[in-house]
Each structure stands twice: as structure tokens, then as C-alpha cells.
A and B are shown apart, each in its own frame.
Chain A
Amino acid sequence: MASHGIKDQIAIIGVGCTRFVEHWDAGLDDLIITAADAAYASAGIDKADVDAYWFGTAQGGMSGITMARPLQLQNKPVTRVENYCATGSEALRQAAYAVASGAYDVAMALGAEKTKDSGFQGLNAAPPPNDGTARSLTAAAMYSMVAPAYCEKFGVDAADMRHAMARVAEKNHHNGARNPLAQFQREVSIDTVCASPKVAGDLGVYDCAGVADGAAAVIICRAEDAHKYCDNPLYIKALSFVAGNGSGLTDPDYDYTTFPEIAACAQDAYTQAGITDPSASIAMAEVHDCFTVTELVLMEDLGFSERGTAWKDMLDGRFDLEGEVAVNPDGGLKSFGHPVGASGLRMVYEAWLQLRGKAPDERRVAAAHRDPAKTLALTHNLGGYPGEMVSFIAIVGTELG
């Protein structure tokens, strides 16, 4: 893959994040203002110090004006980006390349989404005018086809798989219950998850991510400038992206037990960052747990588990806060909520807290403290469905080199 990466060229110097929840009293403009102001304050800079903006929203509005107007930006370049559920991550990726190129010194990536003004359940994309032949399934239904296929391929008992999926929800709610910004700050039991009403296939309500309103922002500069703003910045080690060609939907060889776009994206990210054994160098991962089963498959596609074993690793606690690699220590999409355009940057927000020792003790990632070699965090977004998805991975760390 002809991807060179920009390892150690970009530093993260400030972050901001609203609570992710049904913000009945806040519109998209309010969410943007809250996250942006928090990020300016975090970086210790003024609005005027940011040279350019990348604004991620899946459906919140068109063009950079959607961000420039509420913030009253004065003749600044603002680019609105959209890339399914990886929209916020894409904003960071574009901002990073722009600063690395030398075009700007300081840039902000901000993602925001107002999902709860529609009156409908779940997330709702409005497709462009079309011939009416596209399937109209929910994401839950598409992902519900994964667990049966996984059990069939790897000989996993359906009850064990059900238990492991519930464990994902239990773990992420455990973490979210310790996070004041999370949508659902309440633990759930495995029994509750298993008994929740079915949405699609064997996926119940508690197997699905929360749908929330929210915004998150990240401010970056070139690595050599970082200490002008910040004593302990994070450095970007890798930014990788794969847009699938949809082949999984039409290829009879695709078996719904893996997401090939993610595996390819991970390989590129690890190459950029110089990582050979992800579990040995990565302390924590924020991954796109849109459904419980998704997180299990991601552990394998991201190389944290061998094929066919993630369910067991999950049950064994490898991905708990105290585990070898803490996964979704902030609660994940499952418990923190999923305002589409904001989620990718919310993940960076958590990496910022954890790697710099600023996360509260009750949800501290143990590996980041007990193992000096573990200076890295991975953030991962996907968008779309099994067979047709986009994948984004960032790797950030506290040290250069």
C-alpha cells in the first residue's frame, strides 16, 4: 500500500467534548460552540489563533458555513467533510494533512451531530434521489448476520457468543458509568442485555449503540511547534483510511465473519506507526462498537485477537480497564453514545485523557500506567455495513520516535 503516513509530524495540543446525550435544549450551533470553546481553552489559545477548520457532520448541515456561522469565524477556511460514521475522524485526517503540508500552522477538527431532532428511532440517512432498488435495512439487521456466521465458521456455541456479546455491553456500560460525559452512566447486567427486546436477528436493544447529540473537537499543530502550546501533547503516529468497494455485498465468498476493510486499514496504520505487535505497544483502543458483535469482530480485524478467539478474550477480560488492551475505556459508542460526526473525535478526547494521566482513577487504563512500553492509543471508526464499509484508524502516542 503506497501510504507514507505523517508519523510524528503533527501534535494534538487541545481537545474539547460535550456530553453525548439527548440535548433537547441545545441545537447543533450550541454543540459546536461548546466543543470549540472547550478545545480553545484546552489548548490555551484564542479563536483567532486557529488558521483553518475541518468540520465533520454526517447530516447536520451543508458546507463550512454550518460551523463558521455559529462560531462567527472571521474569513477562515472551513471545510465540511462527511464519510459515514467516520466523519469526525475524517475531519482530523484532513486537518492533519493540511498542517503537515505547511499550508496552516494551527487547525481544528470538529465533529458535531444533532441526531435527536428527527423524531425517529436510530440513525436516519436521507439518500440522494435514486432508482428505488437499494435495500432499506437497518444497520442492526445487517450486523445481526455476523454472529450466526461467526459461530458457524469457528464452531462457537451460540450461547457462548451471546454471552460474549453481552459482555461487550456490560464492559462498555461499566466504563461509561464512570464517565460524566457518557450518554448512559449506568451499568447493565449480562442478563439485562440478553433479555432486551430484539431489534434485528439476535441483536437486542442493549446490543446497539446509543443514539445521542454531541460534539467534539481537536486542535493540532506541527510537532515542532507543540511545546509553544502544551507540555505534554499527543503525537499522531498513523492515520489510515479505506473506503470499501462494496464487494462484500455481491461476492459469494464473503462470509460475514470479518470486515476486510478494517483489516486492510489496520495493516496500513501499523505500518505507518512501525507497530508489529499491536497488543504489546497499544495501551488502549477506542473502537467503533456500533453493535456488541461489531466490537468482537474488530478485536480480530485490528489484530488484538487471533481469528475465532475474540469472544473468549472478551470473556477473559483482556479488553477490560485492567486488561492487556483496554477497549472503549470511555464507554464506547455503546454507552457514551453516537452522534455520528462527533464520535471519531470523542475517541481522541479519551486518548488525550488516558495517555496523559488525566482520566479519573475509577476508569483509568491500567496498561498505560503499569507498562512503560505502552505509550500508544488507537482510535477506530467504521461506517456502513458488513460487506460495504469505510474504515478509519488513528494511532496517537505521548512520545516522539
Chain B
Amino acid sequence: MRGIIAWGTYLPFRRLDRADIGKVLGRSGGRGSRTVASFDEDPTTMAVEAARSAMRTTPASPDLVLFCSVNPAYADRTNATAIHAALRLGDTAIAADLGLSTRSAVAGVLLASCGHGTTLVTAADIRVGLAGSAEEASGGDAASALIIGDESPDTPVLAEIMGTASRTAEFIDRWRTPGDTHSKIWDEKFSGVTLVPLAVAALTDACAAADITPAELIAVAVSAPTARMAKTVGGKLGVAHVVDDFAAVVGQCGAAQPGLMLAHLIEQASPGDVVALVSACDGADAVVFRVTDAAAGHDGAPTVAAQAAGGAPISYGRFLAWRGTIAVDPPRRPEPQRVSSTAAARNTDWKYGFVASVDEQTGAVHLPPLRVSADGERTDAMTVRPMADIGATIATFTVDHVAYSPSPPIVFAVVDFDGGGRLPVELCDCDADEVKIGARVEMTFRRLHAIDGMPNYFWKARLARG
């Protein structure tokens, strides 16, 4: 049996109230909210967070990592290698990028379903539109991670893949020139009319492949390039229940949308349920799953619904600054230098994997890792300890109003890790007045800045919000 053995999703912390857009621009505002990636996140960091969330629930170690985003950090070189490094996967594992379209994310699932071994399919997007555009208001930022593999005693399949089917059609409903920050939309009515028969056909064929009738589907999740298209398609599939797509509070999350919808579909299903994902995008893809009995006892990652209910607001002005739509006066401090590629390559375990060294004799934990013991007596008498999933407590903290940051001020804390180790580290996803000595924090993979086109990835701490 082959299917999903783990999944994780990531919704960034901030929420933009759509009504705020109208207030600032002097026009009627929308309803609901959308998710907003922080200034220090990009599709790679968000994919890492979703993948970490998935991997905490399974002992499986992927031998193939796929990554898909419409706006990846890099062209020409692979983005998935940073995800591979942050997850500390073995160097024999393949890490590769899928193309710059939402459909590639679905293709990743289809490829994994008919392949072998254990595949991690990640997808992430930050949706940007011109100020006041429908795309800006209805887009959302998110990441998804699905681990697909064969049933084993340690890795039970939680959602068996029963059948898949696809249709492909060449028509332009939206487009983006590589390098542009946002997409353009043709005509949503035309798109809906064109996509519906493709989606119906794909779902019908997938059900046939799964040897069921569409009427047996307990629930269907629909992903489409816009919330409106998804609504149109979902209404025409003739199925009993189409699950919520969180358009009201999250938005349409581009390449992350199919994985996000699939995760939610499984999260709200019961063991034995037969469900389907329908992605209507440049054609249509349908995948029929059966949720297994193993899912009943599965201690899963934080659900989409739980994450959608969390978060905290961000002003439209700060949102525009974070996306680079408006330029904000920086602190009168020098910008950081670009990262040394060679230095970073030597320190991959620390920079990406957040691996400390532990003194074999004293047990002292060193972040960053030391080769010589703190008493100067012993060289290379250390073991390694991955620290990314170890919680920590704030020993003291401060707010720096002057230091360079893409979004000042910097909230900074000295944190002590459970079981040893201390790191002075930047905090993220918090307001200064929320921070207290003794507060619990967890580590998160972030993009500190990007100079000369090179993102500088490293870890920050965020308040543990339960």
C-alpha cells in the first residue's frame, strides 16, 4: 500500500484584515483576512517549517525532496537543497525543484504516488498583487508538506492513494513573467467555464481508477488559481461535500494551495472515509484517497483549521513594506554583507541544521559548535546535538531600535535550551511588549536578509504559543 504517511502545513503568524486595504486606499474594503508571511520568510523557509511539522510525526526519512513555488528564492540553482539541509536529510537523498506553477505541486504528488521510496513533496508561496488588487486581497501565504511512501510497521499509510486521473488543456487564465512579483488574470468566468468539464472528467476517471462512484466520496477538496474559480468548480462536481478552502481567513495560496487543501481534507476525515482532491489548474488533476484505520491513532501536526484560527494582525502599511511595495527609510546603519558561500558551505550543519556540539566530558552544549572544550583542555572531544526541535526559555531580552533590520526594531533575547546550551538570538513573530523573561520559545528557520540576490538563511526564536 502506498500513500500519505505524514503531512504538515504552515500558515505564517500575521493576518491582514482586508478591510484595512480599502481604508488606506480610500475605496470599499473586502471582508475577512489573509495570511501574511513575515519579512524574514520566503517560500524556502516556509516549506522548511511545513516539512519540519510533518517530519515530527513520523520516523520516515525522505530519499527524495521536491519543492514547488511560483516565486522561489533562486533561479538556476536548486531551492530544495536548503530544505534538505535544514531537515538534515542524508546526502544520498535527492532534492529537486518542480516548476514555477501551482500545477507542479500537484504533479509532485502524482509523481510520488506512482514512484517508490519515500518522497517529501513541499510547496510554498507568498502571494503578492498590486496595491488594491483582487489578487492582493484574496491571495494568502502558506506552505505544505506531504510525505508519500509505502506502508511499513513504523510508517503506516494514513491516506491510501486509490486512483488518480488528469486532464491537460492549453489556455491562459493567468500568467506571470519570471521575475515579476505578481500575476495577471484574464477572465475568471471564462476560466471557470473552461475548468469545470476538465475537473469533472478528471474526478470521474480517478473514481473509476479507485473503483468507486463519485457518490461514495465523503468529501472533496478543490484547489484552483483563485477562490472564485474554486467555488465555481466545486459547485459543479456533483459531490456531497466540498470542504472549506479558508478563502475567508487564509486566502488562495498558490503552489501551496493543493497541499493545504489535501491536508485539511484528511484532517477532517474519519478512518474509512474515501475522499478526493481536485486541482483545477492548467487542466485538472484528481486524486482519490481512503483514510486508513492507522489515521485514527495518529498524533498529527497542527491542523490547517487550528492554524487558520490563530495568528495576529498586521497593518496594511507594514504589509506593503514587507512585500517591498513601498520603500521604508532604513536605519542609518550599514547593510549586512552578503554571505560568504564558502564559509556557509563549511558550516552547513550549524547554519541550516542548527546542530550544536556537546562536550563529551562535561556535557556543556555549545552554540555555535566549538571544537575545543570551554576549559581549553580537549580538542575535538565533542558529539553533535541537533537543537532545532529543542525548546528554550528566555533568560533576558532587549529591543534594539538602531541595528539594521529589514523591519526594525529588532527584538532580541538570550535563550537557554532545555538540556543545556545558550544562544543570544533574534525573536520573530512577536511584538516587544509580549516578551517576558521566562517565556518559552521554539526555533524557526528564517531568511535574515538577502544581499546581492543571496538569501541569508538562519534560525530565529519565536514565542511558543501553545
**Are B367 and A250 touching (Cβ within 8 A)?**
yes
**Are B402 and A140 touching (Cβ within 8 A)?**
yes
Q: Decide yes or no: A132 and B400 within 8 Å by CB, A137-B410, A250-B421 being known contacts.
A: no
Q: Decide yes or no: A199 and B350 within 8 Å by CB, A135-B426, A141-B410 being known contacts.
A: no
Cβ proximity bits A124-142 to B, threshold 8 Å, 1 near / 0 not: 1011011111011110111
From A256, which residue of chain B is reached at the shortest CB distance?
A: B396
Cβ proximity bits B391-426 to A, threshold 8 Å, 1 near / 0 not: 000011111111111000010101010001111111
Report the bound CA distance from A200 to B411 in whole Å.
10
In the complex, which residues of chain B have a beta carbon less than 8 angstroms from the beta carbon of A315?
Answer: none
B361 interface residue (CB < 8 Å to A): no
For the complex formed, measure the closest distance between the CB of B376 and the CB atoms of chain A, giving whole angstroms: 8
**Are A131 and B402 touching (Cβ within 8 A)?**
no
For the complex formed, measure the closest distance between the CB of B46 and the CB atoms of chain A, giving whole angstroms: 19
6 A-B Cβ contacts within 8 A?
A119-B332, A136-B404, A141-B412, A245-B374, A256-B414, A387-B424
B290 interface residue (CB < 8 Å to A): no
A195 interface residue (CB < 8 Å to B): no
**Are B333 and A124 touching (Cβ within 8 A)?**
yes
Residues of B within 8 A of A (CB): 331-334, 336-337, 339-340, 342-344, 346-347, 350-351, 364-368, 374, 376, 395-405, 410, 412, 414, 416, 420-426, 437, 448, 456-458
In the complex, which residues of chain B have a beta carbon less than 8 angstroms from the beta carbon of A137?
Answer: 400, 403, 410, 412, 424
**Are B398 and A141 touching (Cβ within 8 A)?**
yes
In the complex, which residues of chain B have a beta carbon less than 8 angstroms from the beta carbon of A131?
Answer: 339-340, 343-344, 346-347, 350-351
For the complex formed, measure the closest distance between the CB of A157 and the CB atoms of chain B, giving whole angstroms: 17
**Are A200 and B399 touching (Cβ within 8 A)?**
yes
A64 interface residue (CB < 8 Å to B): no
Binds B, one of A49-57, A144-152, A265-273: A144-152
A251 interface residue (CB < 8 Å to B): yes
For the complex formed, measure the closest distance between the CB of A261 and the CB atoms of chain B, giving whole angstroms: 14
For the complex formed, measure the closest distance between the CB of B78 and the CB atoms of chain A, giving whole angstroms: 19
For the complex formed, measure the closest distance between the CB of A268 and the CB atoms of chain B, giving whole angstroms: 17
In the complex, which residues of chain B have a beta carbon less than 8 angstroms from the beta carbon of A200?
Answer: 398-403
**Are B422 and A252 touching (Cβ within 8 A)?**
yes
A76 interface residue (CB < 8 Å to B): no
The CB with the most chain B CB atoms within 10 A, among A140, A141, A199, A200, is that of: A141
A247 interface residue (CB < 8 Å to B): yes
From B348, which residue of chain A is reached at the shortest CB distance?
A: A131
A249 interface residue (CB < 8 Å to B): yes
Give the residues from 149 to 185 in chain A that come closer than 8 angstroms, CB to CB, to chain B: 149
Q: Decide yes or no: A201 and B404 within 8 Å by CB, A131-B344, A132-B351, A250-B367 being known contacts.
A: no
Q: Which of B332, B340, B368, B437 contacts A129 (CB 8 A)?
A: B340
Cβ proximity bits A98-139 to B, threshold 8 Å, 1 near / 0 not: 000000000000000000001111101011011111011110
**Are A252 and B402 touching (Cβ within 8 A)?**
no
For the complex formed, measure the closest distance between the CB of A205 and the CB atoms of chain B, giving whole angstroms: 10
For the complex formed, measure the closest distance between the CB of B242 and the CB atoms of chain A, giving whole angstroms: 45
Report the bound CA distance from A254 to B332 in whole Å.
32
For the complex formed, measure the closest distance between the CB of B443 and the CB atoms of chain A, giving whole angstroms: 13
Say whether chain A's binding surface is mostly helix, strand, loop, or mixed: loop
**Are A133 and B350 touching (Cβ within 8 A)?**
yes
Q: Which of B424, B426, B456 contacts A132 (CB 8 A)?
A: B456
In the complex, which residues of chain A have a beta carbon less than 8 angstroms from the beta carbon of B346?
Answer: 131
7 extra A-B contacts, CB within 8 A, seeds A121-B402, A145-B396: A130-B340, A141-B399, A145-B398, A199-B402, A250-B367, A251-B374, A256-B414
Report the bound CA distance from A131 to B424 in whole Å.
17
In the complex, which residues of chain A have a beta carbon less than 8 angstroms from the beta carbon of B344?
Answer: 131-132
Report the bound CA distance from A245 to B396 in whole Å.
21
For the complex formed, measure the closest distance between the CB of A379 and the CB atoms of chain B, giving whole angstroms: 28
Q: Decide yes or no: A127 and B339 within 8 Å by CB, A122-B402, A138-B403 being known contacts.
A: no
From A143, which residue of chain B is reached at the shortest CB distance?
A: B398
A198 interface residue (CB < 8 Å to B): yes
In the complex, which residues of chain B have a beta carbon less than 8 angstroms from the beta carbon of A198?
Answer: 399, 401
**Are A130 and B412 touching (Cβ within 8 A)?**
no
In the complex, which residues of chain A have a beta carbon less than 8 angstroms from the beta carbon of B331?
Answer: 121
In the complex, which residues of chain B have a beta carbon less than 8 angstroms from the beta carbon of A256?
Answer: 396, 414
Report the bound CA distance from A22 to B174 in whole Å.
57
Report the bound CA distance from A141 to B404 in whole Å.
12
In the complex, which residues of chain B have a beta carbon less than 8 angstroms from the beta carbon of A121?
Answer: 331-333, 402
Report the bound CA distance from A252 to B415 in whole Å.
8
Report the bound CA distance from A119 to B335 in whole Å.
12
Report the bound CA distance from A250 to B416 in whole Å.
9
Q: Decide yes or no: A135 and B367 within 8 Å by CB, A251-B374, A256-B396 being known contacts.
A: no
Q: Which of B337, B367, B403, B421 contacts A141 (CB 8 A)?
A: B403
Report the bound CA distance from A387 to B414 in whole Å.
11
In the complex, which residues of chain A have a beta carbon less than 8 angstroms from the beta carbon of B396?
Answer: 145, 148-149, 256
